[in-house]
Amino acid sequence: MPNDPVPVLELAMLYDVTGRNDMARKEYEKVLKMDPNNEFALNNLAYSQADDGVDLDNALAYAKRAQQRRPADPNIKDTLGLIYIKKSLTDDGLRILTELVQSDPKNATYRLHLAMALYQKGDKAKAKRELESAMQFKPTGKEQTRIKELMAKIG
């Protein structure tokens, strides 16, 4: 079944988990050639691009397409929030990420992204509180590194 996007998507997600972002993005793009509306590939590719600061306009387009398919999905909303931060659309990012943290306060990723937006907005005290909270909710190794880096900037 060479046109089945599922194994390709699974490979992309495996690359994602192991930190091989370039390889993951290539596989997500293959999935989208087979299934242009695959919301998981759209969102994951958008997130990867945003996370690495690669082609943010394209990332935003992918995330918006994913959101059209799954408008209530918090992971897609988080991706949009991260993209807005990376594009310096801080108020839009803050709005989305504040809602996400209110709806899922134990999510370390949402708290980290909210802290990034708060820091970008200049509210270091609130950003620091969000980072401290994020550390309590089992962030990934990569997130722990980012939390420590942002904490060092805040002082």
Q: Is residue 124 part of a domain?
A: yes
| 41-95 confidence digits (pLDDT tens) | 999 999 999 999 999 999 999 999 999 999 999 999 999 999 999 999 999 999 9
Q: Is residue 35 part of a domain?
A: yes
Same domain, 51 and 93: no
Same domain, 66 and 93: no
Q: Is residue 81 part of a domain?
A: no
Mean pLDDT score, 119-127: 98
Same domain, 57 and 5: yes
CATH of the domain at 58: 1.25.40.10
Same domain, 65 and 93: no
Q: Is residue 51 part of a domain?
A: yes
Q: Which of 103-139 are b and which e, b meaning 16 or more Cβ less than 10 Å from the residue's Cβ? A: eeeebbbbbbbbbbbbbbeeeeeebbebbebbbebeb
* DSSP-based three-state secondary structure for 18: coil
Q: Is residue 82 part of a domain?
A: no
Same domain, 45 and 95: no
Q: Does pTM surpass 0.85?
A: yes
Euclidean distance between CA atoms 63 and 55, whole angstroms: 12
Name the band, by pLDDT with cuts 50, 70 and 90, for residue 3. Answer: confident
Structural domain of 128? 88-155
Number of domains the chain contains: 2
Closest CA to 97 of 75, 129, 124, 71: 75
pLDDT confidence of residue 2: 73
Same domain, 53 and 105: no
